[in-house]
Structure formats: C-alpha cells, structure tokens
C-alpha cells in the first residue's frame, strides 16, 4: 500500500473517506485514469473503484502504480495498471488499441497526468518550456483524441475529464503550464461541440491548492502561502477533486459538456498566487 505520503491522503484514507455518492454510481463502467499514481489521480481511482467502476491506472513509473493496484485489489475492487507516457503518441495509441481489443473498452477517461516546475518565465529554457507544453497540452490531447477515435469507431458513448489549473487569474511562476492548461480548456470546449454527435462529453476541473505529493517541487515558503490563496484560508484535498470528477463522469453529469468546474475554495475571486514566492517589487 502506498501509505503515508509526505503530502496529502494515503491509500488507507482514500479507502475509507466518506463519499456523497451511491455505491453503484459508476457500476459496470470502465474508467481510465492517466497520472493515476499521483495524488489527485489516486484519489479518483479509489473513489471510482468504490463506486463500482473497473479502473485502469496509467503513469510513467510502475513504482507509483503497482502498489496502488495491489491496494485496490486487496480492498475487493477491480483495477489494473499500465505504464504509459502520455507524450508518446505511439504508446498512447497502443494502449487504447489493447484496451478495446483485450480489455473490454472504456467508458470514462480522466486526464490527471500533468505537472510543471516553478520558475520565472524569463528564465525558461527551450527544453523546459517544451517539456511542460508537451506533457500538459500535447499529452492530454494524445489521450483525448485516441480515446475519442475508439468511441467513434465502436459507436460507444464516452466522458472525458481533464484536470487543469485555474487560468482566470494569475498563478505566477508557472507560465508555461498556464499556457498549456488554457490550451486544454479551449480545446475541451471546442471538442465538446465537435464530439457531441458521437455522444462524447468533455469537461475540465480546475483545482486550487490541493495538498498532494506533487507539491514536492515547490519550496516550503511557497507551500506555506497556499492556504492563503483563497478566502476559505485552507487548502483542498484530492478527495475534493475526486468527488467533483465523479459528479462529471457519473449520470449526474449527463447533460454537462464543455464546462470548467473550478474547485478552489473561491481562490479565483481572491487574489494572486506565487509558486516561486512574491518578488519584493510587489510588496507595497
């Protein structure tokens, strides 16, 4: 069991956390969760499995995925894992081909794979910029299009949830990621229309500060400021995002597409967030 992470909820927490959803809300559905070994993806995997879904967890590092699959199965859930780099289109296509040829297809895709490093934009190297754009924009698109092609081919309905970032106000120090996530939001809104005839829904969730192991890339000073990035004056949990995602993936979301559900404690209406620490210039 991947217990006691430095930040966020453990498998033990996620196996028992209260949920507002009925235990059969996702019964019989197959859900693919990219980045499912990370903090938010893992919470989504646990919640969806507990609601009756068969979950397929993907990510680059087997050491993050394997213990999760073991823990889910030990709790009586149906789960499998695959190593998959979302930036590699051939890998992505191969994964979706196998999923439909041998593993019963899929009903739901949640794209939780993503991330960035904090750095002043003026100092981005071409390689660093490309790594973040390739992961968050191209990688998400690879998964979206590959899933949709299968849903169209098999005339099967599908639902996509993309985990992005709040882009309606400043999140400074991660401009590369903001550019990529704004792209994903716009893309999701466009294909929500184009793919409606195929019965494919596409939505985004924009989390605020959610305590997960992904926070390791931020300095203690930056992390200490995160509770003050919203008027509720606290950070959220991966479970908050998992329940929002279940709302969009389950029948509760049947008439929702092209939406961005912001789960940030009101942070988008509040102020500014610096992932690199606030420069003295702005401290007036």
Binding site for ligand LGGBLMCM (CB under 6 A): 115-117, 119, 125, 127-128, 131-132, 135, 208-209, 212, 214-215, 217, 226, 229, 273, 275
Inter-residue contact 74 to 14 (CB < 8 Å)? no
Distance CA 213, CA 217 (A): 9
Q: In terms of CB distance, is 5 or 253 closer to ligand LGGBLMCM?
A: 5
Q: Which C-beta is closer to ligand LGGBLMCM: that of 15 or that of 131?
A: 131
Report the site for ligand NDP in 41-100 (rule: CB under 6 A). Answer: 41, 59-61, 64, 84-87
User: Which residues, 6+ apart, have CB-to-CB distance to 284 below 8 Å?
Assistant: none
Smallest distance from the beta carbon of 58 to ligand NDP, in angstroms? 7
- Nearest distance in Å: CB 51, ligand LGGBLMCM: 24
Residue 228, binding choice from ligand LGGBLMCM, ligand NDP, none, Cβ under 5 to 8 Å by partner class: none
Token pair for residue 276?
């690199």
> Would you list the DSSP string of 139-193?
HHHHHHHHHHHHHHHTT--EEEEEE----SS-EET-HHHHHHHHHHHHHHHHHHH
Among 32, 35, 108, 245, binds ligand NDP (CB under 6 A): 35
In sequence order, what are the residues at sequence separation of 6 or more whose Cβ sits closer than 8 angstroms to the Cβ of residue 101? none
C-beta closer to ligand LGGBLMCM: residue 99 or 229: 229
Three-class SS state of 251: helix
For residue 70, give both structure tokens.
């073991």
Q: What is the per-residue binding string for ligand NDP in 209-238, x denoting contact by CB under 6 A?
A: xx-xxx------------------------
Classified as helix, coil or strand, 270 is coil
Summarize as ranges the residues that interact with ligand NDP (CB under 6 A): 34-35, 37-41, 59-61, 64, 84-87, 112-115, 135, 139, 163, 165, 207, 209-210, 212-214
């Amino acid at each position: 069991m991947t217990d006691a992470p430095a930040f966020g909820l453990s498998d033990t927490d996620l196996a028992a956390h209260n949920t507002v959803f009925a235990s059969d809300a996702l019964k019989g559905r197959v859900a693919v969760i990219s980045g499912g070994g990370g903090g938010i993806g893992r919470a989504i995997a646990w919640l969806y499995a507990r609601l009756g879904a068969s979950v397929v967890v993907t990510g680059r590092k087997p050491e993050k995925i394997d213990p999760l699959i073991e823990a889910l199965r030990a709790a009586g859930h149906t789960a499998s894992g695959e190593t998959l780099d979302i930036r590699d289109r051939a890998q992505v296509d191969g994964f979706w081909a196998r999923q439909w040829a041998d593993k019963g297809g899929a009903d739901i895709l949640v794209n939780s794979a993503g991330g960035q490093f904090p750095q002043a934009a003026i100092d981005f190297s071409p390689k660093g910029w490309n790594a973040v754009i390739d992961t968050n924009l191209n990688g998400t698109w690879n998964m979206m299009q590959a899933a949709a092609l299968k849903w169209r081919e098999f005339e099967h309905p599908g639902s996509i949830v993309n985990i992005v970032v709040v882009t309606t106000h400043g999140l400074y120090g991660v401009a590369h990621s903001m550019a990529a996530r704004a792209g994903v939001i716009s893309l999701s809104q466009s294909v929500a229309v184009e793919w409606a005839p195929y019965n494919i829904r596409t939505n985004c969730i924009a989390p605020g500060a959610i305590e997960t192991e992904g926070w390791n890339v931020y300095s203690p000073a930056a992390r200490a400021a995160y509770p003050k990035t919203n008027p509720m004056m606290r950070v959220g949990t991966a479970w908050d995002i998992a329940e929002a995602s279940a709302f969009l993936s389950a029948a509760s979301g049947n008439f929702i597409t092209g939406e961005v559900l912001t789960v940030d404690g009101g942070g988008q209406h509040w102020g500014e967030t610096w992932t690199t620490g606030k420069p003295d210039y702005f401290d007036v």
